[in-house]
Amino acid sequence: MILDGKSPAGPLAERWDRRRQELKLVNPANKRRYKILVVGTGLAGASAAATLGELGYTVEAFCFQDSPRRGHSIAAQGGINAAKNYPNDGDSIYRLFYDTVKGGDFRARESNVYRLAMLSNNIIDQCVAQGVPFARDYAGYLDNRSFGGAQVSRTFYARGQTGQQLLLGAYGALSRQIHAGTVRLYPRTEMLDLVVIKGQAKGITIRDLTTGAIRSHAGDAVCLCTGGYGNVFYLSTNAMGSNVTATYRAYKKGALFANPCFTQIHPTCIPVTGDHQSKLTLMSESLRNDGRVWVPKKKADERKPHEIPEDERDYFLERKYPSFGNLAPRDIASRAAKEVCDEGRGVGPGGRGVYLDFADAIQRLGKDKISERYGNLFEMYEKITAENAYERPMRIYPAPHYTMGGLWVDYNLQSNIPGLYVLGEANFSDHGANRLGASALMQGLADGYFIISYTIADYLARTGPGGASADHAEFLRSIGEVDAASKKLLSINGRRTVNDFHRELGRIMWEHVGMARGREGLELALKRIPELRGEFWSNVKVPGSGADLNQELEKAGRVADFLEFGEVMALDALLREESCGGHFRVEHQMPDGEAKRDDDNFCYVAAWEFRGIGKKPELHKEPLTFEHIPLATRSYK
């Protein structure tokens, strides 16, 4: 099947306006008769639930955390992009669009990206109006910083806690609607199934994580805002609870999963210390504004960093990419770091690290300025490593951070299942094969504040309210299935813990479906994942019962999904016989080691349809066309 992204035609800058003209509206008096279920309360979910509630829809919002303020968007540090051009340094909507398409290595839809760039400015206005305390200069104007993949300063920030402040803004808006009664909140609640009736998404089945109760919620539409699947690697910068379950179970109900192999490995994370490690910590990319990345020129150099003279250091990003230097995009910076470590020039325990050095910046700007910009990051680094980054360079290493892939959606953010919308990191749409820094917050909020309210109205107006009730046979069947799966997990009573399986899956994924992928490794992964899954279902040990709070049971369900999803990811990576963005196939590289894209054969979105567990999913393609930015080899040299 050839998929249609339903992008509007016509001049790029007019497409969103044109689409908004075509979309039907719901009469204000009728809005409350429609119930919309919003799953996840990170930036995308909180902003969507709040906005839909403000408009008068009946909204139910769900999150697995104890409070909607804890979605993992909260951990985003560096900033949010917008094409405001306040610094007058040559930015424009078109340039943000251009940078994002190029940064994504030409694997995103032009129409979507242009709309995102347009809406970026509204987001900043909205957040300031909410009281988000963005950094300002002494005259009271908003301040900007630069970020990877751009040559202009377009990133707005609130110290090193931009995600937190934006999420608290959206959480405030959501709280206001909860108070007003338009949104009903279900915290400590996990979605375990999507209910589809006559081809339309009509509800979800959830587990109340406190009481263990499994029940269904019916609605007129479902918005999944459940984030990415980075934890398939076990170790990632995601929160411990971040998972693929909501999107994967929608996939099992017929939603297409697009580009699962497009995962982002972030260059600046704190290196691993040992097997006990439960997660990895990101250090904001903004650090690369003032920090210089280097390793010793000599292999296995045991000297302390300050003992290594300037001419024996290799500032490899500045050397290889003189025009972008330390601000080369994430995928490029990550691979460059892996390369020098593979050569044996890595630093720190195990040689898996490179230096990020602030000595020059501190000398130039003073310690106070650096502390004002990055103080909390330096503190966090010291807590974890017991090292003072003002005095010795940080050690960093790449780690899985973001997933560009996600459920397939059209221009209206609707999946191939009518009534199922997917927002934020959970969808695949805007970042192509690589996301630029400070663009995730932008996308989550664009989807939630400014897109979904228009597009969902069109669907609702066409279908009419109250189409399903929770006593429909499909809901009962769904509850039965979810309940049976829980019981099965609890009954195995094997010998290995859930974490143990997750850790092993993570090793397979990192080794073979990680930063550099080869045919042999991918085939091995495709053999080992099903074997591990087989063992999981016969040898996992999940203690306790399903009738109350049981964190092991929660984890087991998520890991069970990762054990199926990992296979789709590896398959997608195997079939994409090219290198692009975060997807690097060792067989497809330029003589200098840069990614070699194959636009003749792979300029498409790969969207997978579920065909049964362990069965090969069916591939559908959405061809990508580039009318405005000619396909070109990315160069940051």
- State which of positions 224-253 bind another protein (CB under 8 A): 237, 239-241
Question: Looking at beta carbons only, is 239 or 389 nearer to another protein?
Answer: 239
Nearest CA to 238 out of 273, 206, 257, 264 is that of 264
Binding residue for another protein (CB under 8 A) from 133, 344, 350, 593?
133
* Residue 129 touching another protein (CB under 8 A): yes
- Look up tokens 């929660």; give the residue: 554
Contacts (CB under 8 A) with another protein, residues 477-536 = 495, 497, 499-500
Binding residue for another protein (CB under 8 A) from 453, 463, 539, 589?
453
Contacts (CB under 8 A) with another protein, residues 294-353 = none
Question: Looking at beta carbons only, is 141 or 466 nearer to another protein?
Answer: 141
Rg (CA), the chain: 24
Least Å from the CB of residue 126 to another protein: 6
Q: How far is C-alpha 617 from the geometric centre of its chain's CA atoms?
A: 23
Least Å from the CB of residue 277 to another protein: 7
Binding pattern to another protein, positions 278-297, x when CB under 8 A?
Answer: xx-xx---------------
Binding residue for another protein (CB under 8 A) from 47, 403, 412, 478?
47
Nearest CA to 55 out of 90, 37, 29 is that of 29
* Residue 392 touching another protein (CB under 8 A): no
For residue 40, give both structure tokens: 């996840």
User: Helices 452-463 and 15-22: crossing angle, nearest 10°?
Assistant: 30
Question: Looking at beta carbons only, is 27 or 67 nearer to another protein?
Answer: 67
* Residue 189 touching another protein (CB under 8 A): no
Q: Which part of the chain contacts another protein (CB under 8 A), choosing from 129-137, 303-311, 338-346, 511-519?
A: 129-137
Count Cβ atoms below 10 Å from residue 363 Cβ, excluding itself.
Answer: 9
Query: Can 330 be counted among the known catalytic residues?
Result: yes
Binding residue for another protein (CB under 8 A) from 51, 81, 216, 455?
51
Residues in the chain: 637
Burial 79-114 (b: 16+ CB within 10 A, else e): bbbbbbbbbeeebebbbbbbbbbbbbbbbbbbbbbb
The DSSP result for 431-447, as a single string, is STTSPPTT-HHHHHHII
Least Å from the CB of residue 254 to another protein: 30
- Amino acid identity, position 176: R
For residue 42, give both structure tokens: 């990170």
Stretch (H or E) spanning 379 = helix 367-385
Binding residue for another protein (CB under 8 A) from 31, 35, 84, 202?
84
Cα distances from 447 to residues 224, 463, 550, in angstroms, run: 11, 22, 33
Least Å from the CB of residue 86 to another protein: 7
* Residue 539 touching another protein (CB under 8 A): no
Q: Which of 154, 330, 435, 634 is catalytic?
A: 330
Strand 394-403, strand 354-357: pairing: antiparallel
Cβ–Cβ < 8 Å for 571, 259: no
Binding residue for another protein (CB under 8 A) from 13, 135, 524, 532?
135
- Amino acid identity, position 465: P
* Residue 378 touching another protein (CB under 8 A): no
Contacts (CB under 8 A) with another protein, residues 198-227 = 210
* Residue 369 touching another protein (CB under 8 A): no
Binding residue for another protein (CB under 8 A) from 541, 596, 621, 628?
541
Contacts (CB under 8 A) with another protein, residues 53-72 = 54, 65-70, 72
Least Å from the CB of residue 161 to another protein: 6
Q: Is 366 left (phi over 0), alpha (psi -120 to 50) or beta?
A: left
Binding residue for another protein (CB under 8 A) from 21, 138, 471, 612?
138
Size of the site for another protein (CB under 8 A): 81
Cα distances from 27 to residues 16, 56, 453, 466, in angstroms, run: 21, 10, 13, 15
Nearest CA to 93 out of 154, 20, 157 is that of 154
* Residue 92 touching another protein (CB under 8 A): no
* Residue 379 touching another protein (CB under 8 A): yes
Question: Looking at beta carbons only, is 69 or 395 nearer to another protein?
Answer: 69
Q: Which part of the chain contacts another protein (CB under 8 A), choosing from 98-106, 107-115, 133-141, 218-226?
A: 133-141
> What is the rounded distance in angstroms from the CA atom of residue 251 to the CA atom of residue 259?
13
Binding residue for another protein (CB under 8 A) from 172, 212, 254, 518?
172
Binding residue for another protein (CB under 8 A) from 141, 590, 613, 614?
141
Binding residue for another protein (CB under 8 A) from 26, 50, 525, 571?
50
> What is the rounded distance in angstroms from the CA atom of residue 359 to the CA atom of residue 338?
23
Q: Which part of the chain contacts another protein (CB under 8 A), choosing from 27-35, 175-183, 286-294, 340-348?
A: 175-183
Burial 439-475 (b: 16+ CB within 10 A, else e): bbbbbbbbbbbbbbbbbbbbbbbebebebbebebebb
* Residue 171 touching another protein (CB under 8 A): yes
For residue 547, give both structure tokens: 């009738």
> What is the rounded distance in angstroms from the CA atom of residue 360 to the CA atom of residue 557?
49
Fill in the DSSP letter of residue 297: S
Active site residues: 330
